[in-house]
Chains A and B, each alone.
Chain A
Amino acid sequence: MQRIGVFICWCGSNIAATVDVKRVAETIKSEPGVVFAENYQYMCSENGQQLIKQAIREHNLTGIVVGACSPRMHEVTFRKAAEEAGLNPYMVEIANIREHCSWIHKDMEEATEKAVILVRTAIAKVKLNAPLTAGESPVTKRALVIGGGIAGIQAALDIAEAGFKVDIVEKNATIGGRMAQLDKTFPTLDCSACILTPKMVDCAQHENIDILSYSEVEDVKGFVGNFHVKIRRKARYVDETKCTGCKLCMEKCPSKKGLNEFNMNLNTRTAIHIPFAQAIPNVAVIDSTQCLKFKTGKCGICQKFCEVGAIDFTQQDTFVERQYGAIVVATGFKPIALDNFNEFGYADNKDVITSLELERLMNAAGPTNGVLLRPSDGQHPHVVTFIQCVGSRDTSGCGKPYCSKICCMYTAKHAMMIREKYPDTEVHVFYIDVRTPGKNYDEFHRRAVEQYGVDYIKGMVGKVYNENGKLMVQGANLIDNEQVTIESDLVVLATAIEPEPSVRKVATLLTASIDTNNFLTESHAKLRPVESPTAGVYLAGVCQGPKDIPETVSQASACAAKVIGLLVKDKLKTNPCVAMPDEMMCNGCSQCANVCAYGAITYLDKEFRIGGGKTEIRRVASVNPAVCQGCGACTVTCPSGAMDLKGFSSKQIMSEVDAICKK
């Protein structure tokens, strides 16, 4: 006979204000099998847990039900308490009477009645629970970082410094990411390349870091501690081990008209190229869509001139497969496309540019060698107008609903830098709000206004048009309540940022969840901000939400701390709630193996006694408990009902349904 204890939590007023917790406990006392029922203000507190432990010991409880918040919050807490009192932790069930009841109801009578039903349901389940013991799985002491921008670089360096091996997989030909394209960084205005490239070099030289550039994650199998990852190494047509980065090939390449992605397509590059001077690895890559050898079969000049024989036009994509204990996603961002914003005339006017394009125009290594010149005619602009929130905070559906967070600061930076370098230039900034929280951030913006005389205009722009060779920016000045038109030479759009589109594929491979804006979802918005809900997957940088460099670096280091915490363990406890087939009922049809997303099910030929001293050999399913994640897909697929999930058996679920339906 089971001896069940029931513990009803008030959660302060979170539950008690809507659910009559005393009445729930009283009503439940008369349930068959219940020998103890109590309510308490905070069951998760030290005293609350003490109450549970004492009741288990004094009443010889064989199972307990805690009516409280979501099991995602405190299931672990209560399981631990039960274990300390000598009860198997899997004999604990949670009835979620907060999220599923008190928070969503207003009427106390109804909510109380529902709480009683939810607790009864949990009692029905716990009566059929069996003690379970967690197994163990080994941890592969190597981490994978997807994305080689500043987020990935920082995470990799921190993990490597702790003594673990790290691989950085970067889809471009070099690491560095967006930060490598920036000119100066706020709020201190130090040169982006000067602070980034030493870290890139550190990555290249670190004995624990392996950079797989021009590569993409192709497939991911396994689970926390034991990921098995297949990586595509795209053919760069240059032997990475031979190329010395001498750039002779770039001098000789006759195909010079490819758009230079690194310079935001503001100038051109050769078909064989190294993306930028400080690229890591400092190895050339051939753009096969542009290369004459690939297009016409003729040329091959680079091959003739290459002194080390690194050019290999026959190179094919190759694959490497590696084991990892943890994965950091740091896939970064891109500025949104401006197709929905015709009013700003970006497509029609060369001198309407994005902020990232301005970064390149201001950069000493950029297309104009750092001299600010208009793309249309190469003249100095004398009036520059910035438009903030282009596609950010947009409720019309044309852009993004969120604030891109970095634009107020970088626009202030751009405005100040232009005023600093070219004091004869007038600078205007249209803004909705200026949002500059952060250490030394608001001071930075004020400096732009007060010290550098940047003209900030509160209001949005309705139209940018070309009139007699001038860009007319027509907008609202909400402070003066009037329409203004500013005759400008250069217009800069502070374009919203969005997650790099390839993140969708990565998220799918990792079964990591993603929100409506394609940002990866963290496990808990406040308390687990760098962990994905998928165990062993961590998030760094803009792939998780808009953020600037300091925040990205902090998050990357936090990720590294989490990864290190995981990799120092030799073994991980596995979830014992795994699938298990009833071999007598299994007919070996393979349907469960087909739906298993984790590859946990295989088949065995097993000998069975069939009576009369005879045996027969049958093919039956077999689950690898270390790989099974307990998702239950196989249990609902099995046509003969042979597959069941420990802790969530069909019998238990049916008894829960019965308890809900019983009046």
Chain B
Amino acid sequence: MKISYYPGCTLRTKAKELDTSARLCAAALGVEMEEIENWQCCGAVYPMGTDEIATKLSAVRALDYAKHHGGKLLTLCSACHNVIKRTNEDMKANGDIRFRANNYLKLDEPYEGETEVLHYLEMLKNVVGFDNIKKAVVKPLGRKIGAYYGCLLLRPSGVMAFDNPENPTIIEDFIKAIGGTPVVYPFRNECCGAYVALKNSELPKQKSQKVLASAKEKGAEEVITACPLCLYNLQVNGGDILPVKYFTELLAEALGVQA
């Protein structure tokens, strides 16, 4: 099956391996990720200003494209997913934003939040199914792996509707599917501190090291994430406590599709 796919800028630069491994795995699992045309940066940070329209337009363009190409939009980067999903909710539920964004874009027909935004993990769980992944695994990992959710996938929980923000399980279920042992540790849903890195370089160090130390204390041998920003931060500021990888890299390893 085909799904419209929004990669985002980081996946073209710093996080190429996230993109590459995800595409390879999807192909191996029978899902064709069709990159949407002319996509632009999602804005990277969801604009909180309720009168801010221009910074939402790029997300709306991508959503409208997907609406006419299968009705689903697949995301991979946590930040892109957060921005696009929340913008989609605005287009669905906030009449004022919907009205002004459509006025600005002058689409053939107004976009009203019809597209379903799907994160790659949700695709694995709901479209492919963890049971089917388990069957496709050729090299079960057999390692103790800690899932790092960060904040962008989970919050705000009402809009993201991704998982229980205080006790998520989707990445743990994913780890089980690829033959690993999930390690549940308390800091898996805490912020890594990335957003304050420019203002205060000490805080991200503290936060990232706390995350990795917490995972290590509970027995994890490595940590996986879906977020390029978290990965960068945990690797650079995390004090080399544990190796950090994208979840798709481990999926590729388990499926035996490493490039």
- Which of B158, B166, B186, B190 is within 8 Å of A341, CB to CB? B166
Residues of B within 8 A of A472 (CB): 186
- Does A467 count as interface, using CB distance less than 8 angstroms? yes
- Does A342 count as interface, using CB distance less than 8 angstroms? yes
Q: Are B166 and A467 in contact (CB under 8 A)?
A: no
Contacts A467-B214, A467-B217 hold; do A342 and B186 have CB atoms under 8 A apart? no
B156 to chain A, nearest CB (A): 10
Contacts A463-B190, A466-B186, A467-B186 hold; do A342 and B166 have CB atoms under 8 A apart? yes
A350 to chain B, nearest CB (A): 16
- Which of B167, B187, B190 is within 8 Å of A342, CB to CB? B167
Interface size on A, residues (CB 8 A): 11
* Majority-rule SS of B interface residues: helix
- Does A296 count as interface, using CB distance less than 8 angstroms? no
What per-residue 1/0 map shows which CB atoms of A461-474 lie under 8 Å from chain B?
00101111000100
- Does A424 count as interface, using CB distance less than 8 angstroms? no
- Does B40 count as interface, using CB distance less than 8 angstroms? no
- Does B258 count as interface, using CB distance less than 8 angstroms? no
Closest partner residue, chain A, to B156 (CB atom) = A396
- Does A307 count as interface, using CB distance less than 8 angstroms? no
Residues of A within 8 A of B187 (CB): 465
- Does A202 count as interface, using CB distance less than 8 angstroms? no
Q: Are A463 and B217 in contact (CB under 8 A)?
A: no
What per-residue 1/0 map shows which CB atoms of B165-192 lie under 8 Å from chain A?
0110000000000000000001100100
Contacts A341-B166, A342-B166 hold; do A468 and B186 have CB atoms under 8 A apart? no
Q: Are A463 and B164 in contact (CB under 8 A)?
A: no
Cα of A540 to Cα of B164 in the assembled complex, Å: 38
A125 to chain B, nearest CB (A): 42
- Does A343 count as interface, using CB distance less than 8 angstroms? yes
Cα of A463 to Cα of B151 in the assembled complex, Å: 14
Contacts A463-B186, A463-B190 hold; do A343 and B166 have CB atoms under 8 A apart? yes
Residues of A within 8 A of B217 (CB): 467-468
Residues of A within 8 A of B164 (CB): 342
Residues of B within 8 A of A342 (CB): 164, 166-167
Closest partner residue, chain B, to A463 (CB atom) = B186
Residues of B within 8 A of A463 (CB): 186, 190
What per-residue 1/0 map shows which CB atoms of B185-203 lie under 8 Å from chain A?
0110010000000000000
Closest partner residue, chain A, to B166 (CB atom) = A342
Cα of A536 to Cα of B167 in the assembled complex, Å: 48
Cα of A467 to Cα of B186 in the assembled complex, Å: 9
Residues of B within 8 A of A341 (CB): 166
Cα of A450 to Cα of B69 in the assembled complex, Å: 67
A222 to chain B, nearest CB (A): 46
B:152-169 near A, CB below 8 Å: 158, 164, 166-167
Cα of A397 to Cα of B167 in the assembled complex, Å: 17
- Interface of B with A (CB < 8 Å)? 158, 164, 166-167, 186-187, 190, 214, 217
- Interface of A with B (CB < 8 Å)? 341-343, 345, 397, 463, 465-468, 472
Which 9 pairs show the lowest CB-CB distances between chains A and B? Answer: A465-B186, A342-B166, A342-B167, A343-B166, A342-B164, A463-B186, A467-B217, A468-B217, A466-B186
Query: What are 18 of the A-B contact pairs (CB < 8 Å)?
Result: A341-B166, A342-B164, A342-B166, A342-B167, A343-B166, A345-B186, A397-B158, A463-B186, A463-B190, A465-B186, A465-B187, A465-B214, A466-B186, A467-B186, A467-B214, A467-B217, A468-B217, A472-B186
Given contacts A342-B164, A467-B186, 16 further A-B contacts (CB under 8 A): A341-B166, A342-B166, A342-B167, A343-B166, A345-B186, A397-B158, A463-B186, A463-B190, A465-B186, A465-B187, A465-B214, A466-B186, A467-B214, A467-B217, A468-B217, A472-B186
